[in-house]
């Protein structure tokens, strides 16, 4: 299956969640075993030689492919969630997003200094959530961090938010 075919499977929903937004619905990618296998294979091939020890998925759509990728890479999985969702001691990072203020949390014991971490989410748009996740993970003193998205909206140029030495990868890139 080609990247273009995967892009064609993504459903566009106009004016969601607010007027003027063209929402990229990735749930259609998971309805077909063929496209789900293809995504899994692509993610595995991208990171199989990077020494990943932990995959961190961002709530909630980072939970779709994050655990599956961790399994393929023989790595652990840790969730980053919104405040109040994790039952143990947490580290927190606040950030500004397009619709206001928010925060994310991770368990304080989820990552260690020897971990090579892949942070995964579904979409790179304005980049605020991933930037907060990146800062949160870096504060935990890990060895290295990679960033991955299923989809990137290139016209928003959010890659510029991240340090140049951080590898940022997206599978499907859209101009609009």
Instruction: Provide the token pair at 2.
Output: 């080609």
Report the predicted TM-score, pTM, of the whole model to 2 decimal places.
0.95
CATH of residue 56: 3.40.50.2020
List pLDDT tens digits, range 118-159. Answer: 999 999 999 999 999 999 999 999 999 999 999 999 999 999
Q: Is residue 19 domain-resident?
A: no
Q: Is 98 a catalytic residue?
A: yes
Instruction: Provide the token pair at 90.
Output: 């947490």
Are the C-beta atoms of 43 and 65 separated by less than 8 Å?
A: yes
Q: Which domain holds residue 124?
A: 50-174
Active-site residue, selected from the candidate residues 81, 92, 93, 98: 98
Active-site residue, selected from the candidate residues 22, 34, 59, 61: 61
Res 136: pLDDT: 98
- The structural domain count of the chain equals 1
Q: Give the position of tokens 């260690």.
A: 112
Distance CA 36, CA 16 (A): 24
Q: Is residue 66 domain-resident?
A: yes
Q: Is 38 a catalytic residue?
A: no
Q: Give the position of tokens 């995964």.
A: 120
Q: Is residue 158 domain-resident?
A: yes
Does residue 176 carry a pLDDT above 80? no
Write the DSSP symbol of residue 81. B
pLDDT > 90: percent of the chain: 93
């Amino acid at each position: 299956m080609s990247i273009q075919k995967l892009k064609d499977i993504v459903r566009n929903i106009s004016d969601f969640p607010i007027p003027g937004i063209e929402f990229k619905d990735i749930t259609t990618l998971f309805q077909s075993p063929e496209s789900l296998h293809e995504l899994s294979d692509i993610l595995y091939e991208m990171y199989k030689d990077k020494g990943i020890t932990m995959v961190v998925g961002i709530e909630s759509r980072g939970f779709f492919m994050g655990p599956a990728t961790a399994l393929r890479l023989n790595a652990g999985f840790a969730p980053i969630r919104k405040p109040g969702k994790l039952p143990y001691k947490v580290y927190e990072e606040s950030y500004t997003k397009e619709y206001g203020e928010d925060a994310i949390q991770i368990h304080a014991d989820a990552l260690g200094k020897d971990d090579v971490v892949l942070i995964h989410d579904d979409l790179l748009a304005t980049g605020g959530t991933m930037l907060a996740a990146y800062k949160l993970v870096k504060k935990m003193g890990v060895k290295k961090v990679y960033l991955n998205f299923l989809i990137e909206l290139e016209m928003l140029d959010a890659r510029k938010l991240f340090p140049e030495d951080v590898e940022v990868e997206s599978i499907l890139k859209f101009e609009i």
